[in-house]
Chain A
């Protein structure tokens, strides 16, 4: 009962803090009183509601969402695969290390320009999202694999535990927390970098293009509305992806 009340209190406090900042925002916009500099939350909400009614709004979301998420998923696939190969073969790790470090330290803008030069801007956000997520997933997964308890690995060898069970109960269980924390960082980053790339490359029909238009026409209400949409998309995708991981883990463990 006490735990329930504490949880409920926490939720109420969270909602109140959001309301507090919305009020601050409203007051600030009223004091400044210049829509170009800072739109009021009410105006942003109206803009958002009018955007939702447009078909192009949903097409824009679909365009950016599918590309950024595709980049994220490809990066996960390759990151996990490369980390396993790096663990298994030292030469691959030695070869990959400089590339991963290079990707980590190169500014997104440099990549964006290169990608535009090489491939054009149509699939820009896929590549940028992929490149930002890959090093995080690779590094975290590899760290997780290196962290696996070698005593358990030896135990599995002695008892001749089948590969799948060994993978699920020894490796996956140890690696998952590392992968999870990598995902938490990567999920936010793929949206930030993906949209930033679209803003520079301005692919037609993307969220980046809509942000660019908002900048050109000094439309801060549009800017805030689209920013809110990006945050929402990022949060929803994060929740869905992490929930999917949780379900997958439980399903596999129950089945083995």
Chain B
């Protein structure tokens, strides 16, 4: 079932962020959301994540979804290492250390990086930990708010490959400012604020 936003309105004080916003996110496909800064992408993400409520309108098709996400900020437990950050969101699911090390290797993080507290990793490394954290847990709907921010070309390529591999058969929504991401992720495009 597609996830549909129907006549969503959201404002903060006098500032209207979303006005009668409608869109459909196809099930088990990848969709890129593009638009100028401040057009309401993050607000829409927050509504989908259940972190804020629309003033009016509704979201359909979210009821049975298991959500995981990459936020605009990394939102990692800084004092924990990368492995523990992933384990933390996996609930009761047992995930072996070897498997996680393999996944992290795919995004360019070696074993030594994984045992340090994430606060000791660079911004780009922390971003990759946040991405892996969204890919590993059981989920049916993955949201990524500007996931490639702070990544160089090589690491971005690795991360895209990893995202494609791990989100196969899942609904993926990615917000981005780069039109090339639509192609590399084989995604459908939704423009906001135009």
Interface size class of B (residues with CB under 8 A): 10 to 19
Contact among B49, B68, B71, B77 with A169 in the assembled complex (CB-CB below 8 Å): B77
Alpha-carbon distance A157/B51, docked complex (angstroms): 8
Q: Considering the chains assembled together, what is the distance between the CA atoms of A162 and B89 in angstroms? A: 9
| B174 at the A interface (CB under 8 A) | no
Stretch at the interface among A101-109, A124-132, A134-142, A148-156: A148-156
B80 on interface, CB distance cutoff 8 Å: yes
Q: Which residues of A contact B80 (CB under 8 A)?
A: 169
A155-195 near B? 1/0 per residue, CB < 8 Å: 10111111001000110010000000000000000000000
Q: How far is the CB of A109 from chain B (nearest CB, A)?
A: 44
* Contact digits for B70-112, partner A, Cβ 8 Å, 1 yes 0 no: 0101010101100000001101000000000000000000000
Q: Are A154 and B75 in contact (CB under 8 A)?
A: yes
Residues of A close to B50: CB separation below 8 A:
157-158
Contact (A161, B79) CB under 8 Å given A151-B71, A154-B51, A155-B71: no
Q: Is the CB of A161 within 8 A of B75?
A: no
Q: Which of A155, A161, A173 contacts B91 (CB 8 A)?
A: A161
CA distance A155 to B79 in the complex (A): 16
In-complex Cβ contact of A151 among B67, B68, B73 (8 A): B73
Complex contact B69–A158 (CB within 8 A)? yes
User: Chain B, 32-71, contact with A by CB distance < 8 Å: what is the 0/1 string?
Assistant: 0000000000000000011100000000000000011101
Q: Which residues of A contact B73 (CB under 8 A)?
A: 151
Q: Which residues of B contact A165 (CB under 8 A)?
A: 88
Query: 6 other contacts beyond A155-B69, A158-B67, with CB at 8 A cut-off?
Result: A151-B75, A154-B49, A158-B69, A159-B137, A169-B77, A173-B79
Instruction: Show the binding face of A for B, using Cβ within 8 Å.
Output: 151-152, 154-155, 157-162, 165, 169-170, 173
